[in-house]
């Protein structure tokens, strides 16, 4: 019997697929497949591991796409890749593939390449706090954030999921955040040591809030350099 999504999965799929911008990538973790949104109602298969599990996931996702009202085609750059045997190597390959595809993302309004935008001016914005359902029937409270950049071609605000921005921009632009009064940037260990030895008072261990505002979850527990606006870095 062919797999069919339940109502909860369908609701999630419709909301998630609609939120992906044209040119955006959907690459479910551990599935061994990647899809690109080509048009409002069309996705293209871009990569699939040469493995029965990946083929099985693809067939299920085809059912999910169709049920949600989307067409799926094979992209011009469709690749079949032999997955590495080592789990760490496979995870690294997955990330590298996603990063490579992210370099091809374009503005949906004018076609400007997103990697050529001023990524250093990104604004990481808190959106909401929601109770996410767990497989055991309980819920887990999570914070929803968004990353906003400005298109270098037409000036349109482009809002994406933080994970997508991370793929596009890398750690340099992702591991930072600005409150209304200061800029925070995550520090590598050698700079943390130097700052501690020098008695730097503008080094902060990031919690859930800074300057009276919520901080992005990917900075929690990290040591950041704080530069108040109006001061030289």
pLDDT digits (tens, 9 = 90+) for 167-225: 999 999 999 999 999 999 999 999 999 999 999 989 999 999 999 999 999 999 999 99
Of 85-99, 108-122, 152-166, 187-201, the range with the lowest mean pLDDT is 85-99
Structure tokens at 82: 């032999």
75 band by pLDDT with thresholds 50, 70 and 90: low
The answer as to whether 185 is a domain residue is yes
- 77 and 151, same structural domain? no
pLDDT at 226 > cutoff 80: yes
CB atoms under 10 Å from CB of 96, counted, come to: 10
The answer as to whether 164 is a domain residue is yes
Provide the domain limits for residue 211: 180-233
- 125 and 97, same structural domain? no
What percentage of residues in the chain have a pLDDT greater than 90? 52
84 band by pLDDT with thresholds 50, 70 and 90: low
Average pLDDT over residues 143-148: 93
The answer as to whether 1 is a domain residue is no
The answer as to whether 148 is a domain residue is yes
Supply the pLDDT for residue 205.
95
Average pLDDT, the chain: 88
pLDDT at 96 > cutoff 90: no
Supply the pLDDT for residue 60.
92
Could you tell me if 179 and 211 are in contact, meaning their C-beta atoms sit under 8 angstroms apart?
yes
Confirm whether pTM is higher than 0.85.
no
- 167 and 125, same structural domain? yes
The answer as to whether 168 is a domain residue is yes
* Straight-line distance from the first to the last Cα atom of the chain, in angstroms, rounded to the nearest whole number: 62
85 band by pLDDT with thresholds 50, 70 and 90: low
pLDDT at 160 > cutoff 70: yes
Boundary-marking domain end, from 102, 131, 147: 102
Boundary-marking domain end, from 84, 102, 120: 102
The answer as to whether 137 is a domain residue is yes
Distance CA 175, CA 126 (A): 15
Supply the pLDDT for residue 181.
95
The answer as to whether 32 is a domain residue is yes
- 98 and 52, same structural domain? yes
- 70 and 25, same structural domain? yes
- 169 and 128, same structural domain? yes
Beta strands in 54-201 (DSSP E): 71-81, 123-133, 139-150, 157-160, 176-178, 182-186
196 CB contacts (<8 Å, ≥6 apart)? 203
Of 41-50, 114-123, 135-144, 181-190, the range with the lowest mean pLDDT is 135-144
Of 26-30, 62-66, 122-126, 131-135, the range with the lowest mean pLDDT is 131-135
- 98 and 13, same structural domain? yes
Name the domain count of the chain.
3
Boundary-marking domain end, from 67, 102, 137: 102
Average pLDDT over residues 25-49: 87
- 229 and 163, same structural domain? no
The answer as to whether 2 is a domain residue is no
- 123 and 41, same structural domain? no
- 92 and 20, same structural domain? yes
- 155 and 92, same structural domain? no
- 119 and 93, same structural domain? no
Supply the pLDDT for residue 187.
97
């Amino acid at each position: 019997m062919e797999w069919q999504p339940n109502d909860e999965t369908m609701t999630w799929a419709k909301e998630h697929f609609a939120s992906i911008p044209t040119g955006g990538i959907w690459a479910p973790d551990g599935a061994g497949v990647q899809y690109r949104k080509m048009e409002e109602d069309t996705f293209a298969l871009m990569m699939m591991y040469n493995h029965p599990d990946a083929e099985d996931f693809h067939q299920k996702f085809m059912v999910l796409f169709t049920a949600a009202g989307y067409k799926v085609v094979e992209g011009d750059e469709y690749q079949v890749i032999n997955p590495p045997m080592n789990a760490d190597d496979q995870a690294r390959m997955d990330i590298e593939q996603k990063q490579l595809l992210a370099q091809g993302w374009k503005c949906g309004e004018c076609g400007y390449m997103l990697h050529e935008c001023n990524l250093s001016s990104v604004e990481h914005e808190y959106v909401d706090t929601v109770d996410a359902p767990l497989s055991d029937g309980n819920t887990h409270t999570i914070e929803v954030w968004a990353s906003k950049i400005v298109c270098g071609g037409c000036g349109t605000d482009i809002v994406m999921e933080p994970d997508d921005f991370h793929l596009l921009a890398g750690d340099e632009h992702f591991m930072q955040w600005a409150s209304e009064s200061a800029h925070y940037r995550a520090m590598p260990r050698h700079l943390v040591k130097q700052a501690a030895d020098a008695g730097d008072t503008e080094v902060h261990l990031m919690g859930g809030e800074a300057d009276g505002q919520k901080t992005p979850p990917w900075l929690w527990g990290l040591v950041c350099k704080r530069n108040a606006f109006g001061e030289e870095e």
